[in-house]
Amino acid sequence: MRRLFSSMLRRSATVSGLLVKTMLRTLPALLRLRARTHRSFSSRLREKDLTALISVRAESIESAFALRAGLVSAVSMPTARETADVHLIFSDSATLLELLAEPDNFLGQLNALKNFRVDVRGEDHLVQWFLETLKQLFASTKSLDYGTRMTDGSHRYVNNTNGGPVFVYVRDGRILRITPIEFDETDGASWTIRARGRSFTPPRKGTVNPYVLGLRSLIYSKDRLLYPMKRVDFDPRGERHCGNRGVSGYQRISWDEALDIVAAEIRRVKIDHGPGAIMNSCGSHHTWGNIGYWLSARTRFMNSIGSSQVVHNPDSWEGWYWGAMHHWGNSIRNGASDTYGTVEDCLQEAEMIVFWSSDPESTSGVYGAFEGTLRRQWAKSLGIKMVHIDPYYNHTAALLGGKWIAPRPDTGSAMALAIAWVWITEGLYDKDYVAARTTGFELWRDYVLGTSDGITKTPEWQEAETKVPARVVRALARQWGSRKTYLSPGGLAGFGGACRCATGIEWARSMVCLMAMQGLGKPGVNMGCLQQGAPVDTHFYFPGYAEGGMSGDLDNTGLRVSLYQRMPQLPSMNPVSQVIPRLRIPEAILGESCEGYPTDPKSIEGQFRRFGYPAPGHAPVHLYYKYGGSHFGTMADSNRYARAYRSDKLEFVVNQSIWFEGEAKFADILLPACTNFERWDIGETANSGGYSHHQFIQWNHRIITLQHKCIEPLGESRSDYQIFLALAERLGLGNIFSEAMTELDWCRRLFTASDLPTRTSWKKFFKKGYYVVPAPAEANRAPVSWRWFAEGREKDVPELAPLPGDYKNRWRRGLQTQSGKLEFEASSLKRFAPDDPERPPLPTFIPSWEGHHCRELYSRYPLNLISPHPRYSFHTMFDGKDSILCDVKDHRVLLDGYYYWIVRINSDDAAARGIGHNGLVRMFNDRGEVILAAHPTDRLPPGTVQSPEGSAIYEPLGEPGRSPDRGGCINVLTPSRNIISRSHSTASNSCLVQIELWDKRDIS
Amino acid sequence: MKKYAFIIDIGKCENCQNCFLSCKDEHCGNAWPGYSRPQPLHGQRWLDILQKERGSFPLIDVAYLPKPCMHCDQAPCVAAGDGVVYQRQDGIVIIDPDKARGRRDLVSSCPHGAIFWNEEEGVAQKCTLCAHLLDGGWKAPRCVQSCPTGALVLFYGPEEELRKRIAQERLQILPAAQDGPGRPRCYYKNLYRYSRCFLAGSLAEQVSGVEECVIGARLVLQRGDEVIGEQLSDDFGDFKFDDLPDDRADCELVILLGEKEVKRQTVTLSNGQSVGTIRINR
């Protein structure tokens, strides 16, 4: 019908021209009528005074009118042509009518725009306002109701977080409480797994991480930024006093002043220095949602203004990305494993789970809340044995029990090699599988046995490295070699602190080799710890945040895979090709040249393309647009960042932040952003898109949320979208940024692009706030990962990887490696750098460059510090800010009025230093010093100390960047060196320190 | 008559703090008229989580004990309150938020430290079992709702049913509460993980020139003539006798391979240690 209509219009220009002429002539009358019948529309018309001109070139139609104080009046054409504030231009009447007939045909609009069949002129904010007004002219005025009214008069809304979806109870515009979601009888059905004569079904609710329950106190935190601020001694037209950053105070300014300064600085550095001078950086995570996310609105804005992109190292994956990938492919997962169907397989078949550097009870995989906990409790009840290899007696070990094996940190593949030695010498490996599905085993065998290098990798040999008794490793190897065993390296299959240290690459590689020896993919032999692999519906499409939302970025998000076709949008190509390795931000600011290797999951070889900074013909960084304050608490050797901030070379720093914390205190201008509870967004729990394909299989149910705007933004804070839009308007990029849509418009557009409209209506979804995707029929559950490979079949798991061109024999046959098999010796490394002593093609034992083999350093700093992810915050996001999380005894400790971060130390090591429970200590090395509260414990071996990363508070006791930090930023101590030269990687768990009691008189 | 009680399984508590935090989310800054004044942002622990680390490296375990107001029958706070504190028919003990102004003395009336003084509000306050929610139709208080492991359970039923469960599941009240005053309505499962000690160790022996774990050895723990426990060493040669008194008593540990006694040693029962590695000769 539509096609008929438009072809008719196209054929007869006379008819369409007549139609348009009539319509445009009646437009002023329609506006008046609407204003008379709808009070809200009449007050809208009073918002702006403008003259509007609409012209159609082909038929020479022109129509104009003026708005003055809410009244619509005629304007003469010559006047209109000269004074029009908004000018809409159409190539022909048919185009105009087509676009009008289908307001939701975004592809049609974009095509018309790209071919200049439609154009707009005028100030962005006026154009945006005018288009929105025209939309409202025809829209239904019935405002849709959202949320659920409760019997006590409060309203219950829905929102989403890094730690699970939530109900938000609001009364009188104030949040009363935030709780986990409990399903009702109309929500999608749950699955049931049958294993060993029992049935397992998850409860009808979602879980949440502890920090989610601290959110209300974080939203209303006294550390919220409520107004735009300017550093008191910063004058963009005079003295900037860059050296005072981190010390000077702030004064409140208006939004207009703040935005004018930022827009002017963006213009200025582009003119003064040329492309590349603007750098933007944000944390790896953000407040939840597909529209407001950093990979969405922020990316579109930063691309639109042209800026140097800060590229992230694969910091959760390191060893997997730079190491394991070369042996089994999986580049799309940054070298980690897929885990489809593993909950069912593990419960039905496995006899043992080896958790290796794996603490899902603390890290929740990522975004997994406590969904996996119940499944592990089921495994325990079925008698599946558990082994926990971790220097720290972690919370998973404490909850589930089993054998705890505590190696010295950063000893890489030593224990794995000894396990392989036992298997080889005692014949405890799958010889048929090795023969049929792997290559290079002989080289690995010869290395393990010592025939190639003269060192037999016996359990006794590893004991000197790990301090784990040889007999324990022998016993473990024998059990593992004779039981169907799941290996969980990291809380997801392919994370773990052991992959983030100097020996992390060799460790991750050895994990693949061990599983290659045990028949990866056979029943009960697989990767994971029940954290992932729930049998939810993987055939239902809803985008994850890394699919780029409204970013328009086809190069640096996953947009082009699925979402771009479903949600056509203006592409936002960044004209600046300069990129900056995130771990080298300080050096980049100081004008030093540096290099990096990309995080490119497209192919195994993506990581080999070295890049340099500054890029050819580009300017070094002079303007830093920072989102949030996280880097001190999360990036290595973080005093570097404080020192760089205080350099004159950095002419301007703007920080868009929700809270006044961390790096925000080093900005010249502060733009107060609101939380996702104060704006609209849309997102599925744990769906991160390309960052970990089908990540939602951690959840027992797929929960997709319309993230209600629960309260108005606090103070003068605004959503990121609104802030970017306001800046874009000042730069003449407003309509390019917004496509003349509101955040809620974008939510609806994304809803329509997903599979949701096949199951529910926008109205229903908007009101209820969430949709639970029903469990699929058993026949539609995803098959078990690796099973196809073990059985020599076509790949049958639901992932679009590797790329078709990366298969060797034919599509869906074999792995991404050159041989298509599991490779003990990696062909990709043989091609790239066969003689690299840091990463030889065959995995080997390479001692840490900051460990006990470094005699001189070790004599001064005899303690190995491990800094895992914090349990009671998500990186820095939920820490500090005077929230109720400060009261969690194992998060921070209140001593003499200050909430100190905690370091855990073996009780003998503590006693030898005279340190008691909650004693204040200084932990230090050549890089810096942090003041902490000590918790002596036997959860660590002697010589190892544990203190998580993630402090949001950076409080140098003297000059920033050169004095002890009382806030607890452990990364002040960690090395900024790459794990290996040919990488861009962090080795945060290679960190030698010393600890002493702290004498408070040291505060000068 | 149905009454409420807490049933808390120490074996399932992993210190996630969801209970502690959801309690604060509900009560900090929120007044629930008739039930409670707002809890201050910091300092009070209406539901405190205690922890106990047992053994010594590397043979240890850790237990967590969530401790709310136990809503005691014949509660000492009710006795001390002169009508300010009362127990409802459903078992919930409430400090009247209006009448308790200035009643700082109530804090010390609770032997379990469950009552707090709110300086700003000038009122004594404590866990209300989220009675404002239960009365509004909620099935559980916030702490129970947010518990992901099933460690916290709210019981609501007749007293006979509760007594049956206490017997069947070997539920206990805190040892400190055993001799009164007051009879707590908070029962713990697997309390021994917190309140009792264990004896753990590893067995090793030399075989063909290397050290091996001794798997399947029979261990007998005796106190005088009484056998306290008997078990086989596990796949790593480890053993663990649990639920023992922490009374520093000397016991005899006898190790047998088959029927043959290969070692006998005296051990002291105490919380802070394990016996480490015992090397045996066949």
Q: Do A208 and B25 touch (CB under 8 A)?
A: no
Question: Which pLDDT score is estimated for A978?
Answer: 98
Phi, psi of A401 (to 5 degrees): 75, -170
> Is the pLDDT reported for residue A733 higher than 70?
yes
Contact A901, A871 (CB under 8 A): no
Cα(A667)–Cα(B234) distance, integer angstroms: 59
* Whether B20 and A470 lie within 8 Å, measured CB to CB: no
- Write out pLDDT tens, residues A874-922: 999 999 999 999 999 999 999 999 999 999 999 999 999 999 999 999 9
Contacts of A398 in chain B (CB under 8 A): 14-15, 61-62
Res A139: pLDDT: 78
CB-CB under 8 Å, B49 with A889: yes
Selected residue of A168, A381, A399 to mutate for chain B interface (largest B Cβ count, 10 A) = A399
Residue entry with tokens 């005074």: A49
What DSSP designation does B42 have? S
Chain A residue numbers with beta carbons less than 8 Å from the beta carbon of B45 are 887
Tell me the C-alpha distance between A381 and B67, whole Å.
26
Q: Give Cβ neighbours of residue A769 (< 8 Å, ≥ 6 apart).
A: A146, A147, A157, A158, A159, A705, A706, A707, A708
Q: How far apart are CA A300 and CA A728, in angstroms?
A: 10
A363 CA to chain B: closest CA distance, Å? Answer: 11
pLDDT at A245: 98
Mean pLDDT of the residues in chain A: 96
A467 DSSP β-pair partners: none
Which chain A residues have a beta carbon less than 8 Å from that of B12? Answer: 377, 399
**Residues contacting residue A644 through CB under 8 Å, at least 6 positions apart:** A585, A586, A587, A589, A590, A650
Q: Would the CB atoms of B24 and A217 count as touching at under 8 Å?
A: yes
Q: What was the pLDDT predicted at B76?
A: 97
To the nearest whole Å, the CA of A915 is away from the closest chain B CA by: 18
DSSP character at residue A235:
-
Measured between beta carbons, which residues in chain A are less than 8 angstroms from residue B38?
Answer: none
Nearest CA in chain A to B274: A938
Query: Is the distance from CB of A411 to CB of A394 less than 8 angstroms?
Result: no
Q: Do B18 and A906 touch (CB under 8 A)?
A: no
Q: Least CB-CB distance to A393: which of B43, B60, B145?
A: B60
d(CA A808, CA A802): 11
B62 to chain A: closest CA residue: A398
Helix (H) or strand (E) holding B143: helix B142-146
CB of A168 within 8 A of CB of A212?
Answer: no
Question: Between B14, B26, B210, which is nearest A177 by CB?
Answer: B26
Name the helix (H) or strand (E) containing A292.
none
The C-alpha of B28 sits at a distance from chain A's nearest C-alpha, in angstroms, of: 8
> Nearest CA of chain A to the CA of B166: how many Å?
22
Which tens digit of pLDDT belongs to each residue from A4-37? 666 766 777 788 899 999 999 999 999 999 999 9
Residues 6+ apart with CB under 8 A from A45: A31, A35, A67, A70, A71, A72, A133
The secondary structure of A99-132 as a DSSP string is HHH-TT-HHHHHHHHHTTSEEEEE-HHHHHHHHH
Residue B61 with chain A: CB contacts under 8 Å: 398, 401
CA distances from A890 to A901, B14, B15 (A): 9, 12, 9
B21–A884 C-beta distance less than 8 A: yes
Residue of chain B whose alpha carbon sits nearest to that of A936: B53
- From the list A361, A471, A890, which residue is nearest B213 (CB)? A471
- The band of A1003, judged by pLDDT with boundaries at 50, 70 and 90, is low
Rounded to 5°, angle at Cα B46 from B40 and B50? 125
Spatial separation of the C-alpha atoms in residues A746 and B281, rounded to whole Å: 74
CB contact under 8 A, A939 and B62: yes
pLDDT band at B249 (very low <50, low <70, confident <90, very high): confident
What average pLDDT does range A387-392 have in this prediction? 98
Q: Which residue of chain B has the CA closest to A380?
A: B12
**B235 vs A contacts (CB less than 8 Å):** 385, 403, 475, 479
Residues of chain B with Cβ-Cβ distance to A369 below 8 Å are 148
The pLDDT > 70 percentage for chain A reads 99
The chain B residue lying nearest A169, using CA atoms, is B26
Task: Give CA angle at A713 (A708, A719), nearest 5°.
Answer: 80
Ordered alpha helix ranges (H), A821-866: 827-832, 855-860
Q: How far is A467 from chain B (nearest CA, A)?
A: 12
Interface probe, candidates A171, A213, A364, chain B, greatest B C-beta count within 10 A:
A213
Q: Do B57 and A940 touch (CB under 8 A)?
A: yes
At A768 the pLDDT is 98
Q: A136: pLDDT confidence band, cut at 50, 70 and 90?
A: confident
Candidates B25, B60, B212; nearest CB to A216: B25
Q: Kindly report the backbone phi and psi dihedral angles of residue A167, in degrees, each rounded to the nearest multiple of 5, phi listed first.
A: -90, 140
Asked whether the beta carbons of residue B212 and residue A939 sit closer than 8 angstroms, the reply is no
- Nearest by CB to A395, which of B14, B22, B237? B14
Give, for A488, the enclosing helix (H) or strand (E).
Answer: strand A485-489
Chain B residue with minimum CA distance to A377 = B149
> Which residues in chain B are closer than 8 Å to A887, comparing Cβ atoms?
20, 24, 42-43, 45
Give CA separation, A981 vs A322, A837, A984, in Å: 11, 10, 8
What is the rounded distance in angstroms from the CA atom of residue B60 to the CA atom of residue B38? 40
Task: With a cut of 80, say whether residue A594 has pLDDT above it.
Answer: yes
pLDDT at A929: 98
**Rounded mean pLDDT, B73-86:** 97
Does the pLDDT of residue A1 top 60, yes or no? no
**Chain A interface, mutation test: which of B19, B23, B25, most A Cβ atoms within 10 Å?**
B25
Segment B57-69 shows an average pLDDT of 97
Instruction: Say how far apart CA A264 and CA A259 lie, in whole Å.
Output: 8
User: Which H/E stretch holds residue A787?
Assistant: helix A787-790
Give chain B positions within 8 Å (CB) of A149: none
CA distance A514 to chain B (A): 20
Return the closest-CA partner of residue A550 out of A729, A725, A309, A707.
Answer: A725
Residues of chain B found within 8 Å of residue A471, distances taken between Cβ atoms = 204, 210-213, 237
Contact residues, chain B, for A215 at CB < 8 Å:
25
Reference A50, options A85, A88, A83, A89; nearest CA is: A85
Among the ranges given (A57-71, A129-143, A401-415, B24-38), the one the predictor scored with the smallest mean pLDDT:
A129-143
Strand order in the sheet with A118-122: A71-74, A61-68, A50-56, A86-90, A118-122
Cβ-Cβ contacts under 8 Å, A210 against chain B: 16-18, 21
pLDDT digits (tens, 9 = 90+) for A503-528: 999 999 999 999 999 999 999 999 99
Q: How many CB pairs under 8 A join A and B?
A: 147
Residue A702, strand partner residues: A773
Question: B143 to chain A nearest CA, in Å?
Answer: 10
Minimal Cβ distance to A179: which of B42, B145, B238: B145
Which of B43, B45, B61 faces A398 most closely, judged by CB atoms? B61
Q: What is the mean pLDDT of residues A761-777?
A: 97
Whether B148 sits inside 8 A of A939 (CB atoms) is: no
- A908-911: list long-range contacts, CB under 8 Å, 24+ apart: A908/A942, A909/A863, A909/A936, A909/A942, A909/A943, A909/A945, A909/A995, A910/A934, A910/A936, A911/A936
Tell me, rounded to whole angstroms, the distance of Cα A91 from its chain centroid: 43
pLDDT per position as a tens digit, B211-248: 999 999 999 999 989 999 999 999 999 999 999 998 88
Answer yes or no: do B212 and A894 touch at CB < 8 A.
no
Write the residue in A213, A403, A474 that is nearest to B18 by C-beta.
A213
Residues of A classed as catalytic? 285, 315, 545
- Per-residue confidence (pLDDT) for residue A1004, from 0 to 100: 46
pLDDT greater than 90 at residue A143:
no
For residue A148, count other CB atoms closer than 10 A to its CB.
15
User: Both tokens of residue A906?
Assistant: 């073996």
Name the minimum distance, in Å, from the CA of B224 to any CA of chain A. Answer: 31
* DSSP code per residue over A44-82: HHTS--EEEEEEETTTTEEEEEEEETTEEEE--HHHHHH
Q: CA-to-CA distance for A124 and A728, rounded, in angstroms? A: 8
Q: Which pTM value belongs to this model? A: 0.97
Q: A433 to chain B nearest CA, in Å?
A: 27
